[in-house]
């Protein structure tokens, strides 16, 4: 397999200047020495140069990161996109606006790779470990604090879309056993968010949960809910995607374009009761329907804003009259990520990857995300384009 570096977790692009065979070169050749010097000290990364839209996303050569005593140097192998990443080239959002405050921004919160060096005081990881980034670099456990919100990768601070990244050792987790790098790269944001939204509610087998749409968060929530023994409802604009969701175990699948009153279908399909938990990713445009779809004393997990419509003012009355618990979800802590990884291993859950893009195709990956054609996750791999195409054949 051409792109087996992703599979096997080994990726060696270094050229031995004084090696054997075809790598042996005469070091008196100064241009060659300069090339080697450049390869050793610079790397490729992406920058969002300012809030100028998708055209402000540029591939750049930057110095390799320096290693501090508590840092871990990670050779990144794969990354994944989240809906939030689309907001960054347009200026970001509250507390995630480094692109406006202090450009450029290195985008993306989600990535996985191999540890290639550790600082002298590092005791959590060793060279060769396979790791993934933690969304909030400093939210390790307990309740989220104001200060920790300022450690969100790829929004508040620089993210991970670079060939090599230096992380504080606290900002990484080991990837689940047997996971490919491209699978692990899908976990830090969408999966941890879905995990928190479900597990905060103390879910029980036989309870019901509703997912809106078939993007990254919703498909992870579907997979977790099935593993927890819950009865699952999902909506989509596409019958084809709904069929795919049924193959993953969705019990009730509703086309929200064909059924504008999709919340009524949910109520009807639960015997007039409503669901225990709604994974609410739509925001203002879906909130009232989500409140209606929840059962009395049930719960709505507020996560996303896919419908935009900030001028819309959904009524909260259903929340009062039905004594709903409204829980705001903001990704999750490192502890939640580690607990989720154990559940992924135990239940042998594999992320659903819709499409892979090569590192030099990042703008196309953003455009694909924007088109909302995907089901599950969109991944960027370190392979070059030729390697990726061979792998997909």
Q: For residue 96, state whether it binds ligand NAP (rule: CB under 6 A).
A: no
Stretch that binds ligand NAP, among 67-75, 143-151, 277-285, 319-327 (CB under 6 A): 277-285
Contact between 282 and ligand NAP per CB under 6 A: yes
Q: What is the DSSP string of 213-232?
A: SSSHHHHHHHHHHHHTT-EE
Selected from 160, 331, 365, 379, the binder of ligand NAP by CB under 6 A is 331
Contacts of 372 (CB under 8 A, 6+ apart): 215
Cβ closest to ligand NAP, residue 9 vs residue 216: 216
Sequence-distant (6+) residues with CB within 8 A of 358 are: 380, 381, 383, 384, 385, 387, 388
Is the separation of the CB atoms in 99 and 204 below 8 Å? no
SS3 content of the chain, % helix, strand, coil (to 5): 35, 25, 40
Contact (Cβ atoms closer than 8 angstroms) between residue 146 and residue 94:
no
Q: Rounded to whole angstroms, how far apart are CA atoms 392 and 220? A: 23
Tell me: does residue 155 bind ligand NAP (CB under 6 A): no
Stretch of 9-17, 172-180, 234-242, 312-320 lying at the interface with ligand NAP (CB under 6 A):
234-242
Kindly tell me which of 237 and 268 has the beta carbon lying closer to ligand NAP.
237
User: Rule CB under 6 A: is residue 92 a binding residue for ligand NAP?
Assistant: no
Q: Do 140 and 92 contact (CB within 8 A), yes or no?
A: no
152 binds ligand NAP (CB under 6 A): no
Q: Which is nearer to ligand NAP, 203 or 283 (CB)?
A: 283
337, 134 Cβ separation under 8 angstroms: yes
Shortest Cβ 198–ligand NAP spacing (Å): 13
Q: Is 367 helix (H, G, I), strand (E, B) or coil?
A: helix
Q: How far is the CB of 193 from ligand NAP (least distance, A)?
A: 4
Between residues 17 and 285, which has the closer beta carbon with respect to ligand NAP?
Answer: 285
256 binds ligand NAP (CB under 6 A): yes
Q: Which of 189, 324, 353, 365 binds ligand NAP (CB under 6 A)?
A: 189
> In this complex, which beta carbon is closest to ligand NAP, that of residue 11 or of residue 256?
256
3-class secondary-structure state, position 146: helix
Nearer to ligand NAP, 9 or 351 (CB): 351
Region from 123-131, 163-171, 178-186, 299-307 binding ligand NAP, contact rule CB under 6 A? 299-307
* Rounded Cα gap, residues 369 and 277, in angstroms: 27
Angstrom distances, CA of residue 223 to CA of 78, 214, 247, 258, 382: 22, 12, 11, 25, 27
Structure tokens at 120: 């002298």
CA distance 308 to 388: 34
Q: Which of residues 300-329 bind ligand NAP (CB under 6 A)?
A: 303-307, 329
Between 125 and 366, CB nearer to ligand NAP: 366
Binding-site ranges for ligand NAP (CB under 6 A): 82-84, 189-190, 193, 212-217, 235-238, 241, 256, 281-282, 285-286, 303-307, 329-331, 369, 372
């Amino acid at each position: 397999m051409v792109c087996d570096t992703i599979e096997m977790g080994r990726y060696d692009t270094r050229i031995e200047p004084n090696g054997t065979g075809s790598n042996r070169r005469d070091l008196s050749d100064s241009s060659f020495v300069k090339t080697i010097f450049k390869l050793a000290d610079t790397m490729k990364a992406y920058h969002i140069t300012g809030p100028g839209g998708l055209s402000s996303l540029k591939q750049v050569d930057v110095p390799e990161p320096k290693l501090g005593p508590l840092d871990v140097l990670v050779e990144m192998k794969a990354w994944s996109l989240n809906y939030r990443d689309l907001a960054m080239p347009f200026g970001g959002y509250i507390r995630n606006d480094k692109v406006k405050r202090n450009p450029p921004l290195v985008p993306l919160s989600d990535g996985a790779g191999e540890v290639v060096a550790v600082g002298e005081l590092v005791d959590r990881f060793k060279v060769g470990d396979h790791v993934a980034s933690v969304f909030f670099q400093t939210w390790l456990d307990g309740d989220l604090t104001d200060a920790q919100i300022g450690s969100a990768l790829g929004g508040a601070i620089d993210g991970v879309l670079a060939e090599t990244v230096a992380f504080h050792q606290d900002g990484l987790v080991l990837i689940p056993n047997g996971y490919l790098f491209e699978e692990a790269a899908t976990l830090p944001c969408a999966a941890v968010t879905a995990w928190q939204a479900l597990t905060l509610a103390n879910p029980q087998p036989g309870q019901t949960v509703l997912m809106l749409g078939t993007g990254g968060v919703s498909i992870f929530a579907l997979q977790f809910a099935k593993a927890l023994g819950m009865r699952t409802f999902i909506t989509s604009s596409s019958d084809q995607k709904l069929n795919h969701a049924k193959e993953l175990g969705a019990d009730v699948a509703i086309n929200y374009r064909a059924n504008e009153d999709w919340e009524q279908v949910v109520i009807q399909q639960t015997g007039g009761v409503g669901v225990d938990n709604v994974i609410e990713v739509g925001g203002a445009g879906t909130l009232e329907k989500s409140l209606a779809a929840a059962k009395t004393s049930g719960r709505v997990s507020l996560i996303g804003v896919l419908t935009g419509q900030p001028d819309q003012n959904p009524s909260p009355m259903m929340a009062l009259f039905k004594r709903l618990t409204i829980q705001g979800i903001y990704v999750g802590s490192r502890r939640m990520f580690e607990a989720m990884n154990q559940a992924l291993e135990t239940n042998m859950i594999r992320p659903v990857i819709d499409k892979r893009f090569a590192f030099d195709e990042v703008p196309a990956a953003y455009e694909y995300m924007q088109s909302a054609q995907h089901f599950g996750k969109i991944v960027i791999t370190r392979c070059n384009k030729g390697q990726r195409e061979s792998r997909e054949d």
